[in-house]
Amino acid sequence: MQPSEYARTSQAPRPSDSAVKVKRVDGRLVAARSFSGPPPKDERVARERALLLKALDEAGLASAVLGGGETLVSGYHDPFMTPGPLRRNEVAVPLDPRAF
């Protein structure tokens, strides 16, 4: 995500790390689950995704989850030494807006 003053990706500041790429991703509807801790490993992502899918099923929204098994993972990790329990992460799955 970038501030609104950068209407186009070409206006965004150039990353100092060549492994970082700036690209446009169109908006979409997702269901997300937040959790605390250090940047999650694959096993934690899978566990949190399963909990999210269970909650969607219990809410009668399982049919809204788009197929393909895509899982989005995001987190905010400041440049300071914030302890793991205070760090925030999310897993999300895309939803079909036509289901609503």
Mean pLDDT rounded to a whole number for the chain? 89
CA 39 to chain centre: 12
Element housing 47 (H / E): helix 42-58
Confidence check: pLDDT of 30 > 90 = yes
What burial class does residue 3 get, using C-beta atoms within 10 Å of its C-beta: 0-12 exposed, 13-18 middle, 19+ buried?
A: exposed
Buried b (16+ CB within 10 A) or exposed e, 71-84: beeebeeeeeeeee
pLDDT digits (tens, 9 = 90+) for 39-81: 899 999 999 999 999 999 999 999 999 988 899 999 887 777 8
Please give the pLDDT value at position 51.
97
